């Protein structure tokens, strides 16, 4: 069964204190892994898509990496405005019987204190 596990559930950092969020997955035939950011009262906002092991994507203070079993979201010198819940999701290759829907992890809630 496809499964996505994110850790830690919650993370509190001081402004400027770098850290990483983990997304472990088990899926048959990974087509893509997606990272989203969700602010309270809002819908998830797309950040990155990673397709193959070794791939990296960057956006401002965020960098996402992918291995065959997990993905990391590295946050460098975070600011209070980076506080949010970060969700990862996996998508399998689609074929007969598999429609390629996204399977989300439970998320990591990040709080960055000034």
Partner 1 sequence: DAGVIQSPRHEVTEMGQEVTLRCKPISGHDYLFWYRQTMMRGLELLIYFNNNVPIDDSGMPEDRFSAKMPNASFSTLKIQPSEPRDSAVYFCASSREKGQPQHFGDGTRLSIL
* Residues engaged in binding partner 1 (CB under 8 A): 31-32, 34, 36, 41-46, 49, 87, 89, 91, 94, 99-102, 104-107
Least distance to partner 1 from the beta carbon of 110, Å? 16
Q: Is 54 left (phi over 0), alpha (psi -120 to 50) or beta?
A: left
> Do 105 and 5 form a contact (C-beta atoms < 8 A)?
yes
The least CB distance from residue 17 to partner 1, in Å, is 27
CA distance 79 to 64: 17
Instruction: Give 49 or 83: the residue with its C-beta nearer to partner 1.
Output: 49
Taking the complex as a whole, the smallest distance from the CB of residue 14 to partner 1 amounts, in Å, to: 27
């Amino acid at each position: 069964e496809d499964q996505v596990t994110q850790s830690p559930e919650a993370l509190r950092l001081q402004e400027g204190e770098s850290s990483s969020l983990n997304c472990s997955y088990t899926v048959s035939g990974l087509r893509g892994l997606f990272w989203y950011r969700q602010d309270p009262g809002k819908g998830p906002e797309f950040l990155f898509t990673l397709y193959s092991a070794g791939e990296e994507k960057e956006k401002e203070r965020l960098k996402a990496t992918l291995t065959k079993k997990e993905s990391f979201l590295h946050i460098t010198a975070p600011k209070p405005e980076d506080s949010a819940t970060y969700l990862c999701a996996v998508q399998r290759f689609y074929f007969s019987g598999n429609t390629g829907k996204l399977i989300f992890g439970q998320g990591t809630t990040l709080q960055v204190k000034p």
